[in-house]
Structure formats: structure tokens, C-alpha cells
Structure 1
Amino acid sequence: MSPKVSQEHMEQRRAEILKAAEKVFIEYGYERATMKHIMDAANVSRGGLYQYFSNKEAMFETILEEGLSLELDETLEMLKENATSYWDMLMKTIFGEGGEPDDEMDPLAPAKLEFFIIGRNDEHRRAYGKTRYNNGLSIYAHIIEDGQRSGEFSKKFDHEIIARSIIAFIDGLAVEDAMLSREDLRIKEQSVLFVEYLKMALGISEHSTDGK
């Protein structure tokens, strides 16, 4: 009789496999990564791996979903804490905890780009990509709309259009990051310029951001 495995152990092992898989996708990209790569990285048998995930597509989607859920939870947590500056909240959602443009990119971005472009003609992946896009859109749109309602942001432009422009900017950087060197990409300089665009679109002055 096989020994019983606790639910806690299974959840921990699943998390370890996903962590190893993410490192594999970062190193190899989505297309070149294989289940064998992930088996070796996670130090798990073939049967042990397939017990949790049937293929690398399911595994990659899980990584994306959990990352988006974490981002959404963190955003909602900031809202619950009654942040006094929606601008600060927006910057942290775009650029991370520091809330300032830098030269860093999501290391998984090239694999994400590959995943969706390669699967653009696959009905399931297109539907999944659309759902994920809309979920991400809701995060930015929610912050901007609340900022407009509070009077901190101008209502000159529709909150959803601004949110879409944020996603377009981030996705555009991901495309360039997959093809260009960091020196050619100049992420921080492009990001600083994009922040100025957001200030204009939202009616944010230097004085208001300095006093956040």
C-alpha cells in the first residue's frame, strides 16, 4: 500500500514545481522549455510531475494566473488601506514596490510574449489571453477611476483608455526586450517619458507628486 501524502505536502510540492518551472521558462523561453527540463529542475520523476500538470501549457497558465492573482490581491490590499495617493498606487502597480521607473523588466516577459504569439491561432489560448488581458485592465482602470472620482485625477480622458495605454506600453517593452539589448532598449528612459505622458493624461502636477 502506498503511503498517504498529506494535502499540505502536495501543495508544497506543487509550489516547488511551479517555482522550478518558472526558472526554466525564464532560461529557455516557452517554446524551447520541455517537461524534461522542468523534471530535472524540480528534481521530480516523470510520474510525479504529471500528477500535478498534464503539459507545459497548463503549467505556464498556472504561473500566469497565480502571478496575476497576487498582483490583484496586492492592489486590493492597497485600496483597503485607504491610500491617500492614487498616483502612488498607480506607480507601484506599474513599476513595483519602489514606484519608480528603472532598468528592470519582468524576467518572464519574453516567455509570456512567446506563449501568446505562438498560440495566437489557438482558440483556447486566445480566449485565455483575452481573459487575462481584461483582468489586468481592470486593475489599472479601477485605480484610475477611483482617482478620478476622488478628484485627484482629471476626467479629461476615459479611465479605461488610459488603462489600455498602460498595458500597450508594457507589452511594447516586452516585444523590444525580446529582440534588443538592454543598452539599445533604454527601459528607464522610455519609462520616465511614459510617466510624463500619464501625468499629462491624468492632470498630475509635479507639486502633487512631490507631496504624495
Structure 2
Amino acid sequence: MSLIARKELEKEQRRRDILNAAEKLFFSKGYDNVSLNEIAKEVKLGRSTLYLYFENKEELFFAIVLRGAQILHGIVLGKSKKAETSYEKLSAFRDAYYEFSKEYPDYLKAYNYLISGRFDLANIGPEEYRDEFFADSKLYYEYKKKFDEIYIKTLEKGNVSNCPLPKFTASQYLNEILVLRREMLNIFSSAVEQGKDEGIVRPDVNSVEVTVLQTLIANSIDNLPPDLKDLLESQSISQEEFLRDVGELMGYMVSNRRNKNE
């Protein structure tokens, strides 16, 4: 291995070390309670060295949220590909969100914090990096190639912390998150439309409205207020049972089944 190649590998490893250290602190203390100085200390680097890899704390946080978004996207995609009917696809989507919330609760919390209103997402980064442009950019396709060839293989081995991420700006990390989010929403919305064609879903149902409602419910699973959690527990209803019952209720709401009295 050449000296240049070795240095590049060392830089990539240091960048992963910084991400892993920041992730540990963000997950344990929360975004607002972590400083760049703490992250630098955790990874045993000077703060000035940190700036060689990440411009600010926001960029670091977005990179970590992207890790979680990629995991969720992979789970949704994997389960949806195995489904054939619209009912199976809608169930797969709900199951994927539940699996993600159960197996990766810290990533879900970080993701929900990103979209909580804490960040001014509409004004981050220049116009050319908004997702409708970014999704068709050369940079995006270069990333997707790397993601398909390396990231998924690493995820399959269960070693999330060693998965490579491309070097993006804060706005590019954000837009990649939005691109993945849009792909997942399209999967659910398409399944609703397929349900109409199959006669399972009522023809008057708006697939976009159903998708938005389902996403709001799925993203709120880890944010139930304590009194609501206590209420469910008082009836011995687990989080998994609650999610599945809500899914069945939504299915009944959009179902094309005729009234028994007709």
C-alpha cells in the first residue's frame, strides 16, 4: 500500500472515530448538552483538528442521523421487497418502523429531534442542495454507488459504527436524509394506490393523507407522554401491541369492505 493510500485510510478511520464519539455523547446526553470540546476530548483530538473533518456540531449530528436513516431505509426496503399484495406491503412498512424503534431507539430519537423544529431545515444550505436538485446530482449517484457496494454489506454484518459515510456539508447530509425519507414515503403511498387497484382500499381514500398520518404515528412511537404510557401499561398493552392495533384501526378506516347491513 502506498503512503498516500495509507494516509487516506487513516483519515477515514479518524473521521469514523469522531462520528462514533459524537454519536455516543449525543445519544447519552442529547444534542444541546454536548459541545465540540467534549467531542474532541472524547476522541482525544484538539478542537482545531476536529474542524478538518466537520465544520460544526450541526454537521456532525446530521451525519449521525443519516446513519439511522440509512438503517431504517434498508429495513423498509428489505421488508417491502418480500411483500407482494398491498396489504403485505402496508404491514411490512409498519413492521419496519417498529423493528427500527425497537432495535435502534437512539437513532429514532435523533431522527425525531431533527424534525422536531429545533433546526431551521428550510433554510439550511444553498438552494442548489435542496433535495429535488440533489437527488439528480452527480454527487448523489456517486454516493449511492458507494452505499450499495459498501454500506449495506457492512450493515448486514451488524457493525454500524464502521460503516463509511461520504463527506458532505450539513445541507448535503440533510438532503440525503430527505431523499431516503421521500423514497420510504413513496413505498407506502404506492402500496395504498395498489390497494385501490386490488379493491382492498376505498377508491375515495387519499394515499398522501394516509401516508402522512401513518408516518406521524410511526415517528411518535418513542415520544409517548408518560401519562399515555402509564395508561397503556394499566391495560397491560405493550408498545408492540399498541402499534399493531393502531395499524389494524387504520386498515379498517381505509378498507373497502362493505357494510354488513348493505
Q: TM-score, normalised by structure 1?
A: 0.68
Report what 2:29 is aligned to: 28
The separation in 1 between residues aligned to 2:47 and 2:65, in whole angstroms, is: 23
Change in 2 beyond 3 A, CA 1:184/1:11: farther
Report what 1:107 is aligned to: 106
- 1:33 deviation in Å? 1.1
Structure exhibiting the larger radius of gyration computed from Cα positions: 2
* Structure 1 residues 30-65: Cα deviation after superposition (integer angstroms, max 9, x where no partner): 111111222233333323322211111001111122
Report what 2:93 is aligned to: 90
- 1:13 deviation in Å? 2.6
Report what 1:65 is aligned to: 66
- 1:165 deviation in Å? 0.7
> Aligned runs of 1:1-212 on 2, under 5 Å?
4=4, 5-79=6-80, 81-84=81-84, 85-96=88-99, 106-115=105-114, 116-120=116-120, 123-124=123-124, 132=177, 135-146=180-191, 148-149=193-194, 151=198, 153-156=200-203, 157-176=205-224, 180=226, 183-184=229-230, 186=232, 188=239, 190-203=242-255
Report what 1:208 is aligned to: none
Report what 2:145 is aligned to: none
Percent identity between the two aligned chains: 17
Aligned-pair Cα RMSD in Å: 3.8
The answer to whether the 8 Å contact 2:65/2:110 transfers is no
- 1:121 deviation in Å? 8.5
Stretches of structure 2 lacking an aligned partner (at least 5 in a row):
131-170, 233-237, 258-262
The answer to whether the 8 Å contact 2:21/2:39 transfers is yes
**Residue identity opposite 2:40 in structure 1:** M
Count, aligned residues = 195
The separation in 2 between residues aligned to 1:112 and 1:69, in whole angstroms, is: 11
The separation in 2 between residues aligned to 1:142 and 1:27, in whole angstroms, is: 33
The separation in 2 between residues aligned to 1:139 and 1:55, in whole angstroms, is: 29
Change in 2 beyond 3 A, CA 1:152/1:59: farther
Partner SS state of residue 30, structure 2: helix
* Structure 1 residues 81-118: Cα deviation after superposition (integer angstroms, max 9, x where no partner): 44333144213322127xxx96x772244454555433
The answer to whether the 8 Å contact 2:17/2:43 transfers is yes
